[in-house]
Structure 1
Amino acid sequence: MDGVEVVVAHSQRATLRVGEVFLKVDVDPAHADVEVAAMAMAPVPTPAVLWREPPALAIAAVPGKALGVLGEPSTASPAAWAAAGAAVRRLHDAPLPPWPGRTLEDVAAELDRECAWLHANAVLPAEVIRRNREIAQIALRPWKPAFIHGDLQITHVFVDGDEVTGVIDWSEAAPGDAMFDLAILTLGHEERLDDLLTGYGPDADRDVIRAWWSLRSLTAAHWLIEHGFDPDAPGCEFDVLRARLREP
């Protein structure tokens, strides 16, 4: 072992890596409850749970490397992205987890609240907020619940060559909108959507995925800023929002 690596750390949780073991510490034990249960149910490769002693959860590292990083081009092959799409489809087709997910009303209220905060704090130009909120409304429609990961960032999907070797960080898993997972995975990597959908299947709604890019970026900014992250870094959430102004 070369030492302890701090993977992520903020006031709500911290993840440390020691060799091939990840140690997750969370102030809310319900997050670990969901993570352990979801990994046991998910029909895709997941990390092995080594032990749990609240508030800590130890899981094994998965082989391979992340599909990419937000803010940088993904070097993964089109086939690897297609494999990720196929894995996500298996998840979405699986039986629903027995706990509730966010409702349409929850999402709409969050969008109202976070857009008000963005305006009040002049974080972005008003036109950027207005245009993206207009696009985001497309996602605010009734959806058929699917088993979703709920935080399917590009760094949470691991591949080795053209195969998916593991999907990590399941604490937000719940019944929800399948298009949300597809949007989060391609956030900032919009050019890889076609590759992802090659594996996922032809029935994905591209307009809704595009709407979730805007909705997620609008609603995440406040939390990211408060916890020391920079949504204005190149290729990240604010660039996603600004890109919508350049579209017809």
Structure 2
Amino acid sequence: MDEVEEVEVVVAHAERATLRVGGVFLKVDADRARTDAEVEAMSLAPVPTPEILWRKPPVLAIAAVPGATLGRLGGAAAGSPAGWAAAGAAIRKLHDAPPPARTGRAGRSSAVLAAELDAECALLVAEGVLPADLVARNRRVAEAALRPWTPAFTHGDLQIAHVFLDGDQVTGIIDWSEAGRGDALYDLATFTLGHEEHLDEVLAGYGADVDLDVIHAWWSARSLLAVRWLAEHGFDPFAPGCEVDVLRSRM
């Protein structure tokens, strides 16, 4: 009997799951549109992406990419300043590319985002999840994200755990299901969320003037919108360095 590789559950919740078997990742998603978006985005992105091995809905099989991530939210960050700058340069290359026709997570209109924030803030307070003053302060900070922006090719979920480097070279960016047209500063804020100390290094590689107030606004907005969802899906936004600490840092 052939030896069977150990199966690792990378992430799993009601909407989707990712398993790793050796050098293969199996992504299972109940929403075929997300997988369609992921496959299209990887075919268009001008940055390294995983090789698609096969697809049989609802499963997408992709190859592991070489290298290691810069860390994760809530954990210690790794990598040299040159590595963070290389990530910034890759993000800029993505943002400069012609965007897909699809609107991604980072492409919500200001009106839609404002309504989502107001509704979520009300629930956070009403359900006693967060103190009212913490929510109110961050809602005010988040207001700076509600402004006109030029559509860019955005990843939409650019956590540092989704960017792999070998030394100071980007070897792959994974998890493209939220990609599409959107606000470039959303990606930059997501990538530096909880790791503010590396923002200057990322922007040095990105090579463009960036409104820091908007980056700060997206840190607040993204965290406010994520806290309840994370808690309901088995994650801990109250862990050190995670979303609630990001909100507290705005105080």
TM-score by length of 2: 0.96
- Rounded to whole Å, the distance in 2 between the matches of 1:143 and 1:192 is 24
The alignment covers a number of residue pairs equal to 245
Deviation of the 1:2 alpha carbon: 4.5
- Name the Cα RMSD after superposition: 0.9
Letter in 2 for 1:99: R
Deviation per CA, 1:78-110, whole angstroms, max 9, x where unpaired? Answer: 101000000000000000101134222221121
Residue number among 71, 87, 90 corresponding to 2:90 in the alignment:
87
Deviation per CA, 1:172-230, whole angstroms, max 9, x where unpaired? Answer: 00111100000000000000000100100131111100110000000011110110111
What residue is the counterpart of 2:220 in the other structure? 214
What residue is the counterpart of 1:176 in the other structure? 182
Structure 1 stretches of at least 4 aligned residues deviating more than 4 Å after TM superposition? none
- Rounded to whole Å, the distance in 2 between the matches of 1:156 and 1:50 is 19
- Rounded to whole Å, the distance in 2 between the matches of 1:212 and 1:35 is 23
Residue number among 128, 132, 137 corresponding to 2:138 in the alignment:
132
- Rounded to whole Å, the distance in 1 between the matches of 2:21 and 2:154 is 29
Q: Does 1:64 align with 2:67?
A: yes
- Rounded to whole Å, the distance in 2 between the matches of 1:175 and 1:70 is 25
What residue is the counterpart of 1:3 in the other structure? 6
- Rounded to whole Å, the distance in 1 between the matches of 2:136 and 2:41 is 36
Q: Does 1:17 align with 2:20?
A: yes
What residue is the counterpart of 1:188 in the other structure? 194
Alignment of 1:31-46 (within 5 A): 31-46=34-49
Letter in 1 for 2:231: I
Deviation per CA, 1:126-160, whole angstroms, max 9, x where unpaired? Answer: 11101100000000111111110000011000001
Residue number among 91, 112, 130 corresponding to 2:118 in the alignment:
112
3-state SS of 1:5 partner = strand
3-state SS of 1:15 partner = strand
Instruction: Give me the identity figure in percent.
Output: 67
What are structure 1's unaligned runs of at least 5 residues?
Answer: none
- Rounded to whole Å, the distance in 1 between the matches of 2:160 and 2:220 is 17
